[in-house]
Structure 1
Amino acid sequence: MAKNTDSVRAAGGEAEAELATGISAEDYRAALRRHPAGVTIVTLDSEAGPVGFTATSFASVSLNPPLVSFNIAHSSSSIGALHSADSLVIHLLGEHQQHLAQRFARSADQRFADRSLWARLDTGEPVLHGTPSWLRVTVDQLIPVGDHTLVIGLVTRVHAEDDDESAAAPLLYHEGRYYRPTPLDN
């Protein structure tokens, strides 16, 4: 007899999801921890002030039109502001910005506490200083997927620093720790 995975998923619990897929959430997380990810910080403006969070799910979606994506958990303290936002900035962090990745993964009230770390674009979004590259995007689609929302953004502005510090290697996240990449010999 086949399982009705729609009704199992609709029940919403992690235990039910394990029954539907046959894998545990713990096993799934353990497998994904072995795949390194680039670290980004997403910032946006809201009625209550600047909002931001660390995200490792960033991806390029399309070249023409220029579309990018990332995911945000439905349980995130930033989800409401994101649903109200028309635009945001995605910062592609360099290895020298681990402190920012950690700051934006903490309590929301600490993220923008140090005014020396950021400014506002002329369009209102907060932008972090010293980021090797950042993209201003307009929100194109918000797609609920499982316990997250997939955000698709249309890139409207690209900024790339050319100073030595910002041209450093990207910041990576792997096995619960931050890393910098090193080239492999051919």
Structure 2
Amino acid sequence: MSQLSDEFRAAFRHHPAGVALITATVDEIPYGLTISSLASLSIDPVAVSFSLAKESGAAGAVLAAPSFIIHMLGEKHEALANNFARPGAPRFTPDQNFHLLPTGEPYLADAPVAFRSTIHSSVSVGGSRLIAAEVHDIFRGEEQQHLLHQNREYLKLSGLFAAVHQD
């Protein structure tokens, strides 16, 4: 790997990002993966963007699915985010609180916000794929502070807000 690549990776490692979980069903099998690249893209049509580092496994299922759910995770979802980021970790267990929507996607009802989406377009860049996803439905869940990720750790802003208000 080049020095430029190493410096680029280090720069983004220190850039905080929201944590999201994408779930889809393909051939009646649920898939999911954790991402930190979600961004708003367009208001008309309503669309978001995200990147996938590979096109196999859960990422490949998202690319093949007729639709998928993008869950913006809350602070209480740190363990869930870890499970869906690590191969072989428990996924879609009864205690994780997923249920299937009538359209077939696994839905985490206690996520602060979730978008039912389809792929609008995509482009390959190096070994990754940038996805533009059109949002068809927005689901509101439990009101809570969103989970952030920075430098391989999760950040919880609610503790910072509480400390600021106590001073």
- Residue 173 of structure 1 is matched in structure 2 by 149
Deviations 1:90-134 (A, max 9, x none): 00011111111011111256222x134211000000111311110
Letter in 2 for 1:157: D
Task: Number of aligned residue pairs: give it.
Answer: 160
- Which residue, out of 22, 43, 55, partners 1:63? 43
Q: Distance in 2 between matches of 1:75 and 1:65?
A: 25
Q: Distance in 1 between matches of 2:20 and 2:59?
A: 16
Show structure 2 runs of 5+ residues with no match.
none
More moved, 53-62 vs 122-131: 122-131
SS at 2:85 equivalent: coil
Change (3 A) 1:72 1:141: same
Pairwise CA distance, 1:74: 1.8
Pairwise CA distance, 1:36: 0.1
More moved, 52-61 vs 137-146: 137-146
Show structure 1 runs of 5+ residues with no match.
1-13
SS at 2:50 equivalent: strand
CA RMSD of aligned residues (A): 1.8
Please identify the structure whose Cα radius of gyration is greater.
Answer: 1
Pairwise CA distance, 1:31: 0.9
Letter in 2 for 1:180: K
Q: Percent identity?
A: 34
TM-score scaled by length of structure 2: 0.87
Q: Distance in 1 between matches of 2:94 and 2:125?
A: 35
Q: Distance in 2 between matches of 1:24 and 1:48?
A: 42
Change (3 A) 1:54 1:124: same
- Which residue, out of 108, 111, 125, partners 1:131? 111
Q: Distance in 2 between matches of 1:48 and 1:24?
A: 42
Letter in 1 for 2:144: A
TM-score scaled by length of structure 1: 0.79
